[in-house]
Structure 1
Amino acid sequence: MVASVFRVREKYILVLIASSFIVFCICGYFFLPELKAGTQFAFRQIKDAGPDLLGLIPPVDENLVSVDVRHRPLRPPEIGGGPRFQAPITARAKHTDMQRLADKIKLEMQNINLTQLGAVLPKPYPVNDISDNEPAAEGKSVEEDKIRRHDEEWTSPRIDVNDGRPADEESQRRREKIKEMMKHAWDNYVTFAWGQNELKPLSRKGHASSHVFGNTQIGETIVDAMDTLYIMGLRDEFNNASKWVEEHLNFDDISADISVFETNIRFIGGLLSCYALTKDKMFLGKAHHIAKKLLPAFNTPTGIPYSLINPKTGFAKNYVWASSGSSILSEIGTMHLEFVYLADLTNNVEFKEKVFTVRNALQAAHPINGLYPNYINPKTGKWGQRHISVGALGDSFYEYLIKAWIQSNHEDIEARDMYIKAIDAIERNLLKRSKSGLYYFADLKYDRFEYKMDHLTCFAGGMLALGAKTLPDRNHHLKIAADITKTCHKSYILTPTRLGPESFKFTNEVEAKAVRPAESYYILRPETIESYFYLWRFTKDPKYRDWAWDAAQAIDKHCRVKNGFSGIRNVYDTEGAKDDVQQSFFLAETLKYLYLIFSDDNLISFDYWVFNTEAHPLPIRGKNPAYPTSTDTNQQEEKMDRY
């Protein structure tokens, strides 16, 4: 038939089109990872939803089979509706056979890890994973009453507006100035960017933070700043923010690639901190809701999470620029504090299992000479590019090791040992001394050193000081902490603005200075001030308060604009351009650390609290009553309540 209709040339064209289409489909499946991963994800969704879909099949009559076909959204709709398809039925497809199939599936389900199903098909808000057999209180649902009873088990250390008030008048005056700066930043965000991620103070409009949260409007600054507002006693502002979170914060309909790491440290960390400070169960519910949205990112062969996730679809991937599709050390290693606390609050060990799986994978990959490269492949568990840094891409992984040890009330021995080995290797290999005697941590790429330090690395002074006070056999780290912090301070005072650059180098010609315009900006970063804070608390050396005040004055002078605060593009130019972004971490971290430096130590005491990497205080288990004592970390039972 074909030969009689088409000419030879037309046959060749048809064959060429067909073969091209087949080759395109094959290449698309095997060489486009997102398409392949998306197909696999859809298959997993269908497979896991199978028993639920089977439950929707109605009884069958003798002549027709009638099937309801419904989309399974992340928030299950009310039963009803849906297109109906009918087809002739054979004798082998009668209801008795369908019942036998359903019984078989129920039997198989007994051997399935239901936590995995929960990660794919989370259930809707409100949350309550705290269960017992007591009846609900009158007028309350079972879920509401479970959380009520849990809340009554503890009372968070209250924070009064006068808490932390310093005795000396100079510190009081400085603290009030920091509070005024917070008000200026917050009020302008409320006026010009309410509900959006960040403020553009010069343009007087919202900023999407698209590099980490896509084109979304999810109130990043609101959640990031709330505990700072609470700690400063700005209760009206806090209450307005709390109302927005309750009414508007929802990740169900976010269809954009967002950072798993940033979502965890800013949103989950911020919400859990507010819950610990206030006992408001709404914050716990919201934190749990968001954390469930992140779980599909961990569905990799190694359990190492991808960097980006679409909360609506659950599809996750890594940055295209990361080494050979790798995940990033600082991101995968900076989930522990939040997920462990959330697991213990909800009796849901799934969160804890995720972060301990990551830790196991990192140990199985074996550090290189004790050092952890910045990239690791989530499919193979092998290291990517041999770039090692205490700054960008590596930093908070080390921070969370020592803080996990502290959060566990010194029971997480594994975290302590990993921290000691890693810091000892960093001290041996990366700690350098300049010609003038300034100490800094260099970067290492394969066997070649980069003699520079990021502003991000300046957090290390605080981390080392914390470790020195927590680990008696590492007392010498306090001196290294002071030396590193002195170098960061030097990078500030060597500039006309007295603000430190994003990155600074050590060569024969320069020390602690940026050498390129791309390294000369300041975006309201907190890391140097963070180290001032820790060293002030541990040493009470007044120079750290003076250095912090000097930085605060510089920020107020060069970054303050009429409608907020903005980063500057060149710290070496007092009249330089501004970047027109008021970063959310400026309110979450920079201003909080400054306020606490000029407060007494009883305000967010190290005896009860540990800060996550976004400066959100989380309680210490066994010391802070905001941490549940009814849950034994090592012996808790898995609960199956879900969103």
Structure 2
Amino acid sequence: MSNTSGKVSSVLVPASFSRDMLSLDDRKSTVGFPKGAGAMVGEGVLLTLGDDEGSSRSEVGLPNALRSLFDSVFLFFLSIGPDGSSSSESERRGPRSKEGDPEVTASTSSTFVQASHGLSERLETKVSSNELAPMSGKIHNNFNGWGVTIYDALDTMWIMGLTEYFEEAVKVIGEASYTTKPKQYVPFFETIIRHLGGLLSAYALSKDPILLQQADRMGEMLLPAFNSESGLPAYAISTRTNATRGGWTGNTLWAEALSNQLEYKYLAHITGKPEYFEKAERCMQLMYEANVTDGIFPTQWNTKTGAPSNNKFSVGAFADSAHEYLLKQWLMTSRSETKIKDLYLNASKSIIEHLLYITPNREMLYVTDADMLKPSPPKPNASPESPRTTTQGATSTPSSIPSGTFEHLSCFLPGLLALGVQTLDLPESEKEIHSWAAEGLAYSCWLTYADMKTGLGPDVMSMKMYPKNEDGLWLPRVEKWKQQGRSGRPPGLREPGAASEKAGRDYTIYNRSYLLRPEALESFYIMWRTTGNPVWRERGWTIFQAIEKYAKTEIGYASIVDVDKSSTKAPVKDEMPSYFLAETLKYLYLLFTDEEIIPLDRTKGIRWIHVPFETFLEHKPPVPTLQPQQGQSPKINSFLRFPEDEYVLSMSLRDPTDRREMPANTNVYVTANCIRGVKKVTPSDWRSYMISCNPDIIFSLSDIPFTTPPYSQKRLTKSIERSALWLAHMLHSGPDSTSTPSNVFVQMVGGASAPARTTFAESLVEVLHGKEADAIQPRKCLDEGVAGYVFDMVPLRLAIEGVQGLSPNHSTIVSLIQASLLVLPPNKPRLVTSARGPHEMLLLIREVGIDLFDTYWAQRAANIGVALDFSFPAPIVTGKRDLGHNLYDTKYTRDFTSMMGNHDKDSAGICLCAACSPYSTPSPEIIRHSSMDEPDKHRDSSDSPNPPYTKAFLHHLLHTHEMSAHSLLAMHNITVMDAFFAGIRGLISHNSASIFEAEIRRFFETYMEDTDDMSRMEPKVFERAEKAWGEVELLRGKGRIARETERVKAESAVAANEVLKKEMEEKGAEGAVNVPLASNGEVMM
């Protein structure tokens, strides 16, 4: 929020803050980082980054209500946000599950090591290693000869903490050139999902720059595949000549068309190259415009025209991943692009209506494919009461001829439906149907495993069908069950037992192989995570044991030829597909680990709101009337309309962004600025106010001088004594322990004196005695009641300037903060307010271990007309860049690009803020104030993307003094900062100080700041913007007529200058002469 909108400031954090973070395990320092750095990596909870599980933190905890979750899900190809913990007793990066058996994760990790061992031995001698033949030890040269397995399995290595394997693989990848032999073509679809997806997934986890460079190179080399007449990708491409060729169908498969958007859109985001986004989005545009019925997208599309070329509807081969990418694309856009969501909803609705059947005996719910018959047109005598049917039997809905085939590939569907139920705001009736479909399908997938003698599922089955196909449709049977009173479980969810005899199975096996596929385990993992039902873990563990028993070889794991053989050792194939390491083992591992390693769902954005209490001091009584809560004390959240389960809300007395001088404090009261002047607040009043408001975090009163420095030693001593005394008063136990405030953040005082700052810190950890100890029982010292430490940079800089007479250099600031932290425990959050931009933030994280920052700098940029435009890690570009755009500058008058333009049209970044990516959303209901109010029939706001607000438009708003300009800029700038902090979290989770340091250097080299002189710490674009802002405000104060007069004078002066230049040129003068103008626009003679 911009400061123009009130005194509510936001806090953004490099490691997202959550309500339960203060009650979790001890914070550990990362190897190579200062204590505290990156302790909150994990986007939502405080996670351990050190050795083994140590002592618990102090008894201060926020309500266990919020997890700040990032709004993107990449379970299929892109996984974001490992916890980054590293155990000295284990190779595993992920924490042990609190609910599952830790031996399970150790077993799956060991299985990965075993399966990849035969391949890793060959990395040194065969850079082109592809897929391992687990029986013979040979290498199958599949998929281009580009080493598909190490690419596909990169994220699994990272998640399991197999650092040695990961680093060795990155070295091999860094040497790859991705060239092809003459006349060789690489399959576009397979290369995207295995190679490029593997690179981007691993980069999202590790932020290793080699992976980004190689992903950019590969993405660019594959891009010509989109150069068809329609924009649909070709089957294969030569990276040597850019020539393309079609597949055996002569068409583009639906999976080929729609299984590249996650990769290319994410690549566009991290490289700033819009061509990646545009090529992938063109395929989506064809889907939006396609002439299909109710989301029934056929499996083949004409590559030239972009139109459907068959009528087969499927979720199996040719189509499977496209369905996944629809939902996950929508999630990747922060749930903003409703067109994609609608494609998913329409497609899933048609799947449930046309492709879900049950078998006649066991009532197994399965999904098949079908040939869809086009609807017949209504006859002239159609019944108006029943528009979907006619009296002649014609129908306006398609009918289908199901094949009865049930593929293992289709077992991803229950997981996808469950994910949709969790992330989509579905009506209750639809949520119920989707949940039932997910559960029934997942059980049928499990049943195909349990029925087999090996305990492993066959690849393809032919399901027994009713004599009349329509009698087996699942949805009508569910509707009939509802009408009959909902007795028992719904059809398809009654869970028949395993059938070892073939006659009782309700299906015959068409392909008896088990190809180490991941789809069933992927769905079990998502079902476990979305329902919490441990039965999915148990089924996953049973499958894992069967894999160990039948598929394991001396150097890997082999595919099974016949899953229903009764012999103790089933026949195997000499094949281990890359997806076994990339997906099958990954989902098994995640099924038994702490869910926060890869959270299913994360909400991006502001989750900590800070409110200065001085806003309320003008009112009587100051504490507003709060709405009571059932079984709990009322909270200020309800009054401010911030949902308690979504936002952490903190309060301080003073506004940390207010820099005006105020009267000095006394031993009795603290002063605060209000609209009508200064108010005095006693420590008792402050404690009472905070108990009544009940915020999640309280900033204790502190005696930070707000008068002109320098400060005497006596004044510093008073500041220390008062601040400690006021903190003790806040922590006073009182007669009722429930009335003692918890989660108190203390502002560190001591001015520019390192000894004074250390003295204050010592007063916090000093064990108290006598009455002082009795007052804060059961605590033994003040610090036991402290949840975090606050460093306000503005008074600190003023104090340094007062002592030194110069602008404070960075080393001085760091030494003073370190003096405060010297004796304090390292396991509590450290918040810095009013930092001067990303350069200072990066250095404070690196050198002091700061965890949290406020949005003061981003809001200030919005107030002076600067649109931030940077990222961390920095993009791979040549030359220097500004941190943003001074939109007061006249060069933006006709710049119609979005604010995240990265300074040139060829490298535009992607910003998902409401200003750069505005998507209108439907109102839940139309409120009509009179009979004259009618909805606009010509405007559909449910799925129409609006164009982004351009720099030219913002430039116009700023020059016309529209407050909306600052609001739009604030939304944009906070989003940029949020992404900046996410990048920091990702690098710290890599647990490598050298990589983090290298990326900091590259950030300084990329963005225009003087690395040799950090004393100014003020971006140059700010200086230019403040100057322009001052000039515009000066004109604003002169009134409209005066401004118009100045404009006319300036234009006349420019015209006179041009005439003079022309005259002198005609007289033979060399070059044009710049005639100086006075400030009023007149020519100076």
Asked if structure 2 preserves the Cα contact closer than 8 Å seen for 1:442 and 1:450, the reply is yes
Matched, 1:418 2:684: no
For 2:535, the equivalent position in structure 1 comes to: 543
Question: For 1:598, which of 568, 592, 616 is the aligned residue?
Answer: 592
Q: Deviations over 1:594-620 (max 9, x none)?
A: 00000011101123499xxxxxxxxxx
Q: Distance in 1 between matches of 2:521 and 2:874?
A: 28
Q: Return the letter of the residue paired with 1:198.
A: E
Question: For 1:468, which of 410, 413, 421 is the aligned residue?
Answer: 421
Q: Distance in 2 between matches of 1:450 and 1:156?
A: 41
Asked if structure 2 preserves the Cα contact closer than 8 Å seen for 1:504 and 1:512, the reply is no
Q: Return the letter of the residue paired with 1:224.
A: D
Question: For 1:448, which of 401, 405, 419 is the aligned residue?
Answer: 401
For 1:505, the equivalent position in structure 2 comes to: 462
Residues 186-205 of structure 1 mapped to structure 2, 5 A cutoff: 186-192=116-122, 194-195=126-127, 196-205=129-138
Q: Distance in 1 between matches of 2:81 and 2:591?
A: 22
Asked if structure 2 preserves the Cα contact closer than 8 Å seen for 1:498 and 1:571, the reply is yes
Q: Distance in 2 between matches of 1:630 and 1:401?
A: 33
Asked if structure 2 preserves the Cα contact closer than 8 Å seen for 1:224 and 1:588, the reply is yes
Asked if structure 2 preserves the Cα contact closer than 8 Å seen for 1:202 and 1:580, the reply is yes
For 1:77, the equivalent position in structure 2 comes to: none
Q: Return the letter of the residue paired with 2:444.
A: T
SS in 2 for 1:306: coil
Q: Distance in 2 between matches of 1:506 and 1:633?
A: 55
For 1:568, the equivalent position in structure 2 comes to: 560
Residues 180-579 of structure 1 mapped to structure 2, 5 A cutoff: 180-192=110-122, 194-195=126-127, 196-209=129-142, 213=143, 216-247=144-175, 249-255=176-182, 256-320=184-248, 322=249, 325-435=250-360, 436-446=362-372, 447-473=400-426, 474-476=430-432, 477-507=434-464, 511=505, 513-516=507-510, 519-573=511-565, 574=567, 575-579=569-573
Q: 1:208 to 1:523 in 2, by over 3 A?
A: same
Q: 1:434 to 1:343 in 2, by over 3 A?
A: same
SS in 2 for 1:515: strand
* 1:161 Cα deviation from its structure 2 partner: 3.4
Q: Distance in 2 between matches of 1:537 and 1:252?
A: 41
Q: Deviations over 1:209-250 (max 9, x none)?
A: 2xxx2xx42111111111111110111111111111112x22
SS in 2 for 1:523: coil
Q: 1:409 to 1:641 in 2, by over 3 A?
A: closer
Residues 128-207 of structure 1 mapped to structure 2, 5 A cutoff: 159-162=84-87, 164-168=94-98, 171-192=101-122, 194-195=126-127, 196-207=129-140
Asked if structure 2 preserves the Cα contact closer than 8 Å seen for 1:387 and 1:445, the reply is yes
SS in 2 for 1:472: coil
Q: Distance in 1 between matches of 2:455 and 2:104?
A: 18
Q: 1:609 to 1:545 in 2, by over 3 A?
A: farther
Q: 1:625 to 1:559 in 2, by over 3 A?
A: farther
* 1:253 Cα deviation from its structure 2 partner: 4.0
Q: Distance in 2 between matches of 1:392 and 1:609?
A: 32
Asked if structure 1 preserves the Cα contact closer than 8 Å seen for 2:83 and 2:597, the reply is no
Alignment TM-score, normalising by the size of structure 1: 0.68
Q: Distance in 1 between matches of 2:192 and 2:873?
A: 20
Asked if structure 2 preserves the Cα contact closer than 8 Å seen for 1:334 and 1:400, the reply is yes
Q: Return the letter of the residue paired with 1:388.
A: F
Residues 65-76 of structure 1 mapped to structure 2, 5 A cutoff: none
For 1:46, the equivalent position in structure 2 comes to: none
Q: Deviations over 1:468-514 (max 9, x none)?
A: 00112142212211111000000101100111111112116664644
Asked if structure 1 preserves the Cα contact closer than 8 Å seen for 2:186 and 2:236, the reply is yes
Q: 1:401 to 1:579 in 2, by over 3 A?
A: same
Question: For 1:582, which of 540, 553, 576 is the aligned residue?
Answer: 576
Q: Deviations over 1:433-475 (max 9, x none)?
A: 2222211112102442111211000000111011000112142
Q: 1:580 to 1:500 in 2, by over 3 A?
A: same
Q: Return the letter of the residue paired with 1:188.
A: G
Q: Which runs of 5+ in 1 are unaligned?
A: 1-154, 611-623
Q: Distance in 2 between matches of 1:591 and 1:402?
A: 24
Q: Cα RMSD between the aligned structures?
A: 2.7
SS in 2 for 1:571: coil
Q: Distance in 1 between matches of 2:874 and 2:320?
A: 26
Question: For 1:640, which of 880, 900, 906 is the aligned residue?
Answer: 906
* 1:535 Cα deviation from its structure 2 partner: 0.6
Aligned length: 464
Q: Return the letter of the residue paired with 2:574.
A: D
Q: Distance in 2 between matches of 1:639 and 1:597?
A: 44
* 1:265 Cα deviation from its structure 2 partner: 1.1
Q: Deviations over 1:573-629 (max 9, x none)?
A: 14442110111100000000000000011101123499xxxxxxxxxxxxx998999
Q: Distance in 1 between matches of 2:553 and 2:524?
A: 25
Q: Structure 1 or 2: larger helix share?
A: 1
Q: Distance in 2 between matches of 1:506 and 1:627?
A: 54
For 2:696, the equivalent position in structure 1 comes to: none
Q: Distance in 1 between matches of 2:246 and 2:577?
A: 24
Q: Return the letter of the residue paired with 1:500.
A: G
Q: Deviations over 1:268-299 (max 9, x none)?
A: 11111221212211111100111111111111
Q: Deviations over 1:14-61 (max 9, x none)?
A: xxxxxxxxxxxxxxxxxxxxxxxxxxxxxxxxxxxxxxxxxxxxxxxx
SS in 2 for 1:445: strand
Q: Deviations over 1:540-585 (max 9, x none)?
A: 1110000000110111111101111110111111444211011110
Q: Return the letter of the residue paired with 2:545.
A: Q
- From the CA coordinates, give the structure whose radius of gyration is larger: 2
Q: Distance in 1 between matches of 2:207 and 2:200?
A: 10
Q: Return the letter of the residue paired with 1:250.
A: S
Asked if structure 1 preserves the Cα contact closer than 8 Å seen for 2:81 and 2:598, the reply is no
Q: Return the letter of the residue paired with 1:259.
A: P
SS in 1 for 2:179: coil
Asked if structure 2 preserves the Cα contact closer than 8 Å seen for 1:529 and 1:593, the reply is yes
Q: 1:342 to 1:639 in 2, by over 3 A?
A: farther
Q: 1:460 to 1:625 in 2, by over 3 A?
A: farther
Q: 1:169 to 1:540 in 2, by over 3 A?
A: closer
Determine which structure has greater relative contact order: mean sequence separation of CA pairs < 8 Å that are 6+ residues apart, divided by chain length.
Answer: 1
Paired-residue identity, %:
32
